[in-house]
Structure 1
C-alpha cells in the first residue's frame, strides 16, 4: 500500500508537470502569433530655411498691416476621424487595413503641415495654432472629406478631398471657402504604397490651400485699401 501511494503521488506529480509545460508552450506559441502592426505618419513638414525666415521677416517689417492667421484643429468627416487607414474596393463601402495604421488621426497630422506651408509663404505676420491666447485677423478652418486608397483600377490611387473656410475673426464672417480635391497613383498595391501616395497628395493640397489663403488675403487688402479719387482738371479759358 505504501508503494502504491508513492507511485500514485509520483504519477500525479508527472501529470501536473506535463500540464504546466503544455500550458507554457501554448502561451509561447500564442505570443509568437501576435501580429505586428505597422504605424505610419504623414511626412514631417519641411522646416522653413534660414534665408526664407530672413526674407519673411523683412517683408513683415515693410508691411505692418500683414495679418495674423489662426489655424483651427482640422476636423474629419465620419469614418476618417480615426488612426485606421481607409481603403475602398466597392463604391460606398469603407474598409480599414487591420495591421497598418496612422500614428495619429490624419486631421491631427494635417495641422503642423498646414502651419509650415503658410509660414513659408511669408504673407502672414504670424501663423498660430489653435488654441492660442493670441488673437489674429484671420482663421482657417479645415475639414477632411476623404482620405482613402481606392482599388477601383490598377494602379490604385489615394483620393484626398479637403474643404477650407477662411474667416474674418472680427466679424466672424466667412470671406472665402473652397473644396480641394486630388488623387495620386500608389507606387505599389499595398498599404505602404498607399501611405507614400497619401503623403504626396496631402502635400499637394496643403500647398494649394496656402495659395488660396494668400490670394484671398491679398484681395481683402485691396478692398480695404483707400481708393484714390481723381477729379477732372478744370479747363483753362
Structure 2
C-alpha cells in the first residue's frame, strides 16, 4: 500500500511538471494574449510665417542704419516646453497628450522675428543670439505665452510677450512694450489651435516690427 501511494505521488508530481512545461510553451507560442499599451500617434505642429511673408525680400537698409541683435526669447513658467498648452478654467494649465509643437513656441519665435525685422529695412542687419557680433541695439523678449483658451466657444488662442529694446553698449532702455493677440480657432481641437496660433502670430510680429522701427526712428513721437 505504501509503495502504491508513493507511485501515485510521483505520478502527480510528474503530471504537474508536464502541465507547467506545457503552459510555458503555450505562453512562448503566443497562446496567451499579453496586454499591450496602445499609443496614439503624436502629431507635431510648427509656427511659421505665411507664404507671402516667407517669400518677401528685405528692402535695402537706410544709410547709417544700425545692427540689431535679437536675444533668445524667454517663456513664462508653464510654457517652456513643446507641449501644446490649453486652459479650460482660470489658473489651471493642461497639455494635449498626443499633440505638440516641433519646439517650444518661444524658441520657434526667434527666427520668425528676425525675418520680420529684416523686412522693415530699418536695420543694416538683424542677428539672432547667440552670436559674437555686438549690435547697436538689442531686442529682449520675455514672458512668452501661447495657449488655447476654452473659456468660451469657439476657443481662442492667445499669444503674448513683453519686448524691450536696449541701446548698446550703454545698456540704456529705448522702449518697453507688451504685445498680445488673440484669434478664434476654426475648430475646437489641437489643429484648430495651431491654425489660430499662426494667424495671431502673423499680426503680433507685424505690430512688434513696426514698434521697433518707430522706436529707432523716433516717429511717431512717443512710439515707445
The answer to whether residue 62 in structure 2 is matched with residue 43 in structure 1 is no
**Per-residue CA distance 1:132-178 (angstroms, 9 max, x = gap):** 11111000001144211111111110011111000001210111010
Q: Measured at CA, do residues 153 and 8 of structure 1 come closer, stay the same or move farther in structure 2, by a change above 3 Å? A: closer
| Cα distance in 1, alignment partners of residues 217 and 31 from structure 2 | 71
Pair 1:140–1:216, CA change in 2 (3 A): same
1:18 aligns with 2:17: no
Alpha-carbon separation, structure 2, partners of 1:87 and 1:113:
23
Aligned partners of 2:128 and 2:109: how far apart in 1? 11
TM-score (norm 2): 0.84
The answer to whether the 8 A contact 2:88-2:149 is kept is: yes
Q: Report the CA distance between 1:12 and its aligned residue.
A: 4.0
Structure 2 unaligned regions, length at least 5? 1-6
Distance in 1 between the 2:95 and 2:31 partners?
Answer: 34
SS at match of 2:87: strand
Which structure features the higher share of helix residues? 1
Aligned to 2:170: 171
Deviation of the 1:125 alpha carbon: 0.2
Structure 1 unmatched ranges of 5 or more:
223-237
Q: Conserved in 2, the CA contact under 8 Å of 1:163 and 1:180?
A: yes
Partner of residue 30 from structure 1, selected from 26, 36, 55: 36
Whole-Å Cα distance in 2 between the matches of residues 204 and 176 of structure 1?
Answer: 20
> Compared with structure 1, are the counterparts of its residues 16 and 117 closer, same or farther at alpha carbon in structure 2 (3 Å cutoff)?
same
**Cα distance between partner residues in 1 of 2:31 and 2:47:** 43
Deviation at 1:37, TM superposition (A): 1.5
